[in-house]
Amino acid sequence: MYNPKSLKAEEFINHEEILETLEYAEKNKNNVELIDKILEKAKELKGLSHREASVLLACEIPEKINEVYALAEQIKKDFYGNRIVIFAPLYLSNYCVNGCVYCPYHHQNSHIVRKKLTQEEVKAEVIALQDMGHKRLAIEAGEDPVNNPIEYILDCIKTIYSIQHKNGAIRRVNVNIAATTVENYKKLKDAGIGTYILFQETYHKESYEQLHPTGPKHNYAYHTEAMDRAMEGGIDDVGLGVLFGLEMYKYEFAGLLMHAEHLEAVHGVGPHTISVPRVKKADDIDPDTFDNGISDEIFEKIAACIRVAVPYTGMIISTRENEKVRKQMLHLGVSQISGASRTSVGGYAEKERPHDTEQFDVSDQRTLDEVVKWLMDMDYIPSFCTACYREGRTGDRFMALCKSKQIQNCCHPNALMTLKEFLEDYASPKTKEVGEKLIEKEIENIGKDKVKQIVRERLKKIEQGDRDFRF
Ligand code: SF4
Ligand code: SF4
């Protein structure tokens, strides 16, 4: 029985409820009256239920789809302004005991090189990332209790936070590791992590079990209930995600929103972020073998519908996607992107992009400087801000600020100050020139005169060598 408040995976992600939702959406996909009603509700910026949002996703009327897109763009501006937060993934180890059929790190892949960073190598990676200008990382590791126990992950986090190289610093470490115990989540919380990210991959239990034939990840309930354990362990910012292309996208979409509703119902706070990766080519993996692949157009429609359904949740897109898709997704709701990513273990410290331990093909291979300039050329403010969790703005505190749109009073000035740091320390002359002009223009968009004045003072101080100001 469907129950968003239940702690049992099969009750809060209920198969029958999803099937009924899909049937309802299919029946109403051309019901203009209902679609208009849903759009009116969405304009109140309080979100939509999985059923309502599924009707929008199923809708085939071009004018209505355009209305969804326009609304998504408006919501994005209202909640996030024009700042885009930048991060990079850091692969610690590709040892893995699981058998995920879509990932080259799966246990049976005997020809991929296995590698686990030593603390010295972590240091080299972090210095390389700092030298690009990164401040926010998402660490990634396969599941392997012998090679990658929680103590190893904790050691790496400690190392990452401890490295101060020139003006560089990693100020926020998000963690993307396998589902684990409440006790381990507590340890991660104590280590000062930002968001705990775990992709569901697919919400369809039967497919899930087929796609994860061996290893601890095979257990659908343990994986699906991980966010509840993370929250019990004190981590109040969690990131959901679906690997689009594995199951029917409409099914995944409904499941994803039901998961968000469940977190809100049980813990009083929805997901901090939602990621929208698609299956990509990699060693041993051909995405064409999955017959649920989605086109760029459908992918964009999914992003717009997520934006409209959960306006206060950050949306993330990685370098799995090319420049063109990323550009379109930024318009429709994405608020965070990775830049200059290397998806191999130890990849940043290498001069040339290595492929031997890569998890997936990177479509967008531009440097961070190029990504920053590209964003600014489109009038976005690239932001290296990490202020919230360091100021204790997490969980329901963060959500309250986000839902009331007050968070923009922090995001906007923080984006300008962290961009200024990037321009001073890492940018090419051309990027610096474009950036200085953008900052000058964007200071005028700060609402309060007092804040404007503080930002101007701090920008001066950054020029003089001070760092790490934040609201
Ligand atoms: S997706 Fe994660 S758990 Fe699965 S094989 Fe790859 S690294 Fe291991
Ligand atoms: S102020 Fe908070 S929400 Fe805004 S960009 Fe910084 S960390 Fe993110």
Give the separation between CA 260 and CA 48, rounded to whole angstroms.
Answer: 11
Average pLDDT, rounded, for the chain:
95
State percent of the chain over pLDDT 70: 99
Question: Is the Cα dihedral 53, 59, 63, 65 positive or negative?
Answer: positive
Do the domain assignments include residue 157? yes
State percent of the chain over pLDDT 90: 88
**Cα of 174 to ligand 2 centre, how many Å?**
14
| Chain segment 460-470, per-residue pLDDT in tens | 999 999 999 99
| Chain segment 324-347, per-residue pLDDT in tens | 999 999 999 999 999 999 999 999
Tell me, yes or no, whether 141 and 228 share the same domain: yes
Do the domain assignments include residue 7? no
Give the separation between CA 94 and CA 108, rounded to whole angstroms.
Answer: 13
Among candidate residues 46, 76, 106, the one where a domain is terminated? 76
Do the domain assignments include residue 399? no
Nearest atom, ligand 1, residue 99 CA: 5
Tell me, yes or no, whether 166 and 269 share the same domain: yes
| More confident site: 400 or 152 | 152
**Alpha carbon distances (Å) from 421 to 107, 169, 184, 226, 452:** 42, 11, 35, 37, 17
pLDDT at 276 over 80: yes
Do the domain assignments include residue 357? yes
DSSP letter, residue 34: H
Residue 212 CB–ligand 1 contact under 6 Å: no
Tell me, yes or no, whether 324 and 423 share the same domain: no
Nearest atom, ligand 1, residue 142 CA: 7
pLDDT at 422 over 70: yes
What pLDDT band is residue 356 in, cutting at 50, 70 and 90? confident
Do the domain assignments include residue 95? yes
Dihedrals phi, psi of 416, to nearest 5 degrees: -65, -40
Tell me, yes or no, whether 283 and 135 share the same domain: yes
pLDDT at 181 over 70: yes
Dihedrals phi, psi of 386, to nearest 5 degrees: -135, 25
Do the domain assignments include residue 6? no
The structure tokens listed for 335 are 């608020």
Q: For the chain, how many structural domains are there in total? A: 3
- pLDDT of the residue at 335: 95
Tell me, yes or no, whether 72 and 207 share the same domain: no
- pLDDT of the residue at 359: 84
Residue 106 CB–ligand 1 contact under 6 Å: yes
What pLDDT band is residue 291 in, cutting at 50, 70 and 90? low
| Chain segment 110-165, per-residue pLDDT in tens | 989 999 999 999 999 999 999 999 999 999 999 999 999 999 999 999 999 999 99
- pLDDT of the residue at 289: 74
Tell me, yes or no, whether 414 and 429 share the same domain: yes
Mean of pLDDT values over 304-323: 94
Among candidate residues 392, 419, 439, the one where a domain is terminated? 392
pLDDT at 279 over 90: no
Mutate to test the pocket of ligand 1, among 91, 100, 176, 285 (most ligand atoms within 8 A of CB): 100
Mean of pLDDT values over 51-72: 98
- pLDDT of the residue at 405: 87
Task: Please name the residues in contact with 466: beta carbons below 8 A apart, sequence gap of 6 or more.
Answer: 458
Query: Which ligand has an atom closest to residue 384 CA?
Result: 2
Tell me, yes or no, whether 294 and 187 share the same domain: yes
What pLDDT band is residue 354 in, cutting at 50, 70 and 90? confident
Give the separation between CA 240 and CA 223, rounded to whole angstroms.
Answer: 12
| Chain segment 431-467, per-residue pLDDT in tens | 999 999 999 999 999 989 999 999 999 999 999 999 9
Tell me, yes or no, whether 284 and 371 share the same domain: yes
Tell me, yes or no, whether 127 and 258 share the same domain: yes
Residue range(s) defining the domain that contains residue 46: 15-76
Tell me, yes or no, whether 274 and 231 share the same domain: yes
pLDDT at 206 over 90: yes
Nearest atom, ligand 1, residue 97 CA: 8
Do the domain assignments include residue 367? yes
- pLDDT of the residue at 292: 67
